[in-house]
């Protein structure tokens, strides 16, 4: 797993069938990358709902949330609409798990992203990272602490 101080690898993934999003699109903003195993799972649903509700706090730190899993763009669209999410979910679908692998958070045994969080600063460097047990929602406290620290630095 990539650690604090590492340069975040740039990537470009589909957010919708005809819209691709890259990490470089957010240069000048702090970025919260939330890798998660699968849309529709109970823990993932709760985690994404929490980040949706916490967006107003993240925005105070000029931070954008991005969810990433190996689910398809169509699965993401249905999940996002059903949960009324207001941040992009990106499909690390084909080649499967390529971005998760670049960040060191792909689980080869099950073929999914691990539950991992990264806060990336405005220059594209990893300011904080956390690997959570798959069955546990990591919450938002660590993210908020990392964003507060970025403001102090």
Q: Could you list the active site residues?
A: 44
Q: Which residues contact 130 (CB under 8 A, 6 or more apart)?
A: 116, 117, 138, 142
Residue whose C-alpha is closest to residue 9's, from 136, 132, 107, 125: 125
């Amino acid at each position: 797993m990539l650690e604090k101080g590492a340069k975040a690898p740039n990537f470009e993934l589909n957010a919708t069938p005809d819209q691709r999003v890259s990490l470089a699109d957010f240069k000048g903003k702090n970025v919260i990358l939330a890798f998660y195993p699968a849309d529709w799972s109970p823990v993932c649903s709760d985690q994404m709902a929490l980040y949706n509700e916490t967006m107003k706090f993240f925005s105070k730190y000029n931070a954008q949330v991005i969810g990433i899993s190996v689910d398809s763009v169509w699965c993401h669209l249905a999940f996002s609409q059903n949960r009324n999410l207001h941040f992009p979910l990106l499909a690390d679908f084909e080649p499967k798990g390529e971005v998760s692998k670049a960040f060191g958070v792909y689980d080869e045994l099950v073929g999914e992203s691990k539950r991992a969080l990264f806060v990336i600063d405005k220059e594209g460097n990893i300011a904080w990272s956390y690997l959570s047990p798959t069955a546990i929602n990591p919450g938002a406290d660590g993210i908020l602490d990392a964003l507060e620290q970025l403001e102090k630095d």
